[in-house]
Structure 1
Amino acid sequence: MSKKKVNLDEVFSLLNEKAEQYNNLDFIELDPISIPHRFSLKQDIEISGFLTATISWGNRKAILNSAQKMLDFMDNSPYDFIQNFTGKDLKQIETKALHRTFSGEDFAYFLKSLQKIYSEFESLEQLFIVNENETNFYHALDRFRVVFLNEDTIKTSKHVSSTYKNSAAKRLIMYLRWMVRDDKKGVDFGIWKNIDAKHLSIPLDVHTANISRELGLLKRTQNDWKAVAELDLIIRKYNPKDPAVYDFALFGMGVNKDF
């Protein structure tokens, strides 16, 4: 028996409606993006956003609590702390539990890597630039990973996804949406002006992937980079300038069972 043909015009009419419904300030309160929204300095936003995105798996309330622990350790001034902390400061955090498998030791490694990066660059944006011949962040994310992990430790490297190992890199893709999209709706920040939103993808988690399959947008059963690329092809036909706006629709419909 053949499956009913999907009417993509109807599907994207629904997605546009749902994106409009969820892409507003009400979205922020219970979402991890609420953490960087506490700040106004560009570097504070991108540091707190990066650290929060890194631990964004599991219960959202637990994510927010763990992110607050990291902010407390940095005296709620991420950029100032990154610039000035010493090895002695990190001793206080290295033995502590932070968020599930993300340990105090992992956090300390992240802080040291961020300190090195900010000693060389004004913004994290410079490490995510998409080259002229690239259409998405597949290569850019690997370049970032190489720089960030530096003298890579196997234990910590698992917290920085590898697109070259076919990871969907959901948390990094989500972080890029936060930093790059600039639609004046007040949710995403749009503070990275040298990266075009047309290169963004959908952060593929259980919610966005399952709804994509229900709607006939995704056939691949694994939530990996190949699935991200498959979804890219179809959503960019309908919205080539701002494909990641559909993250609001797919995630909102999934997490709120609004389908």
Structure 2
Amino acid sequence: MPPELQKRSPDEIKKLKPFLDAWVEKIERTEYIDDDPILFMHAFNQKEDQLLAGFFAATMAWGRRDIVIRKVRDFLNRMDNRPTDFIVNFSDRDAERFEGFKHRTFKPIDMKWLVKILQTILSQYGSFEDFWASCHKNASENERPLMSVFHEQFFAQHPEAPQRTRKHVSNADKKSSCKRLYLFLRWALRNNSPVDLGLMNFMPQSELMIPLDVHVARQARALGLLSRTYNDWWAVQELTEALRLLDPQDPAKYDYALFGLGINQDEIPEKFIKNPIVLD
């Protein structure tokens, strides 16, 4: 990555709006669902099942999408494809269902503790959305990043959960980009979308941050939307602030545009390239 990257001025960023809006329209279509882990939210009819399946799908969204889909399907099959019932009625002996499961650094012990924590959340708060709402209220009142509070409160349900499992849920206090948590919130909060479901409304979609992965960051730097060279929490803030200039009510929709450009790397017209595209 170049040591210094050029950043567009606010007026220059606004000139990208027609180009990026066209890419959002091109990518954000129902056909997108079948090849993306969000398909597991669409596979269920009950809101709680959709949210819980989506949370696992987003939490495991690490690596190639086809592999992620295969691993999430395997995990949900082990829950009899009834995530809410399985989690609510979970006992330690049910952890045998997870034996042999592996995805990246996820192991059976991690899946056991994630399920146990979600079980306590559903028992204490009544629903997953009510837990998110409590975290959002806490974060707002204390002027803290939502994902710092979410991580803290999530593991406060079971402080004995192993350290290795904690690493699978991002924490903005650790300067993580929190990509997978904001991916889940994009799926669950954005409304009037042919892809995202708009199931929760505990906060406005204007507060969503961009789910920053390496492909989105690469295109954002090429376009001059992002000057920070590390994909961390500060980069998320910088890029989201730039995208809010294009649509202050729905900045996260541009995740589709940057994703689309990422899989069509020769599609950025030369006039829009601010920095060379550097492949990792």
The answer on 1:191 being equivalent to 2:199 is yes
| 1:214 alignment counterpart | 222
The correspondence for 1:149, drawn from 131, 148, 155, is 155
Which of 115, 135, 143 is residue 111 of structure 1 equivalent to? Answer: 115
In structure 2, relative to structure 1, the CA distance for the partners of 1:4 and 1:47 (3 Å cut) is closer
1-structure distance, mates of 2:7, 2:42: 43
Instruction: Give the equivalent residue in structure 1 for 2:25.
Output: 20
Residue 210 of structure 1 and its aligned partner are, at CA, apart by: 0.6
Deviation, structure 1 residue 158: 0.7
Specify the alignment match of 2:170 in structure 1.
Answer: 161
TM-superposed CA distance for 1:4, in Å, is 9.8
1:91-120 CA distance string (max 9 Å, x none): 332x42321111111011111111111111
Give the secondary-structure state (helix, strand or coil) at the position aligned to 2:102: strand
Match of 1:248 in 2: 256
Cα deviations by residue, 1:192-216 (Å, 9 ceiling, x for unpaired): 0222001001100011101100110
Distance 2:114 2:241 in 1: 33
CA drift of 1:147 comes to 2.2
The equivalent of 1:171 in structure 2 is 180
Identity %: 37
Q: RMSD between aligned alpha carbons?
A: 2.1
Which of 120, 140, 147 is equivalent to 2:146? 140
Task: Find out whether 1:99 has 2:103 as its counterpart.
Answer: yes
| Structure 1 consecutive aligned stretches of length 4 or more whose deviation exceeds 6 Å | 2-6
- Give the AA of the match of 2:145: H
CA contact (8 A) 2:59 2:181 kept: yes
Distance 2:7 2:241 in 1: 21
Structure 2 unpaired stretches of 5+ = 269-280
Structure 1 residues without counterparts, runs of 5 or longer: none
Summarize the alignment of residues 33-52 of structure 1 with structure 2, pairs less than 5 Å apart: 33-52=38-57
CA contact (8 A) 1:127 1:143 kept: no
Amino acid at match of 2:150: F
Aligned residues: 255
Q: Which has the higher contact order (CA 8 A, sep 6+)?
A: 2
TM-score, normalising length: structure 2? 0.85
1:128 and 1:113 map into 2 onto residues whose CA distance is 14
Output the CA distance in 1 between the equivalents of 2:45 and 2:65: 23
Quick one: structure 1 residues 115 and 237, their matched pair in 2 at CA, closer, same or farther if it must change by over 3 Å? same
Cα distance in 1 for partners of 2:80, 2:86 equals: 7
